[in-house]
Amino acid sequence: MDKFLEFTSEHTLLVLALMISFFVLVFTELRRKASGLVAVDPTAAVTLINNDATVIDLRSPESYALGHIVHAKNIPFDELDAGKDKVAKLKNKPIVTVCDSGITSNKAVAALRKSGFESVYGLKGGMAAWSQAGLPVVTGKKTKSKGKK
């Protein structure tokens, strides 16, 4: 304990900087939790999907056709209010929202939570982060079966 007090007295600025960094970290985390916006990284999203979460892709149908997460439902962000009856039956299941970069999905999370959805998460970094993590993407193209030519 004497060495700790000696170190503190000799390195006041260093200890002060450490304490400020700690409080900024705690404040930021508390503010993030209080806002209700929960962004998950691709690995955590896979865990949610494996535990029966539904993926809602907020991108345009064209972007969705270029590549999307397996079994994702395409409801463009600007049609989310109109499509709430499609999503209403998922109220008791976890939902992961996906967009291109993660910004639109945070807006969708806030809107859905305001509507009473509890387990809604946004994919941090969007499809860009999903692809960068090397996770599987399904394209909208139809594939021929092996037996047909």
Residues 62-117: pLDDT tens digits? 999 999 999 999 999 988 887 677 788 888 889 999 999 888 998 888 888 888 88
Give this prediction's pTM: 0.69
Question: Tens of pLDDT along 3-22?
Answer: 989 999 999 999 999 999 99
Cα separation of 40 and 112, whole Å?
16
Instruction: List residues with catalytic annotation.
Output: 99
DSSP secondary structure code for residue 78 in this structure: G
Question: Tens of pLDDT along 25-38?
Answer: 898 777 766 665 58
**39 CB contacts (<8 Å, ≥6 apart)?**
102, 105, 106, 109, 121, 122, 123, 124
Cα separation of 35 and 84, whole Å?
22
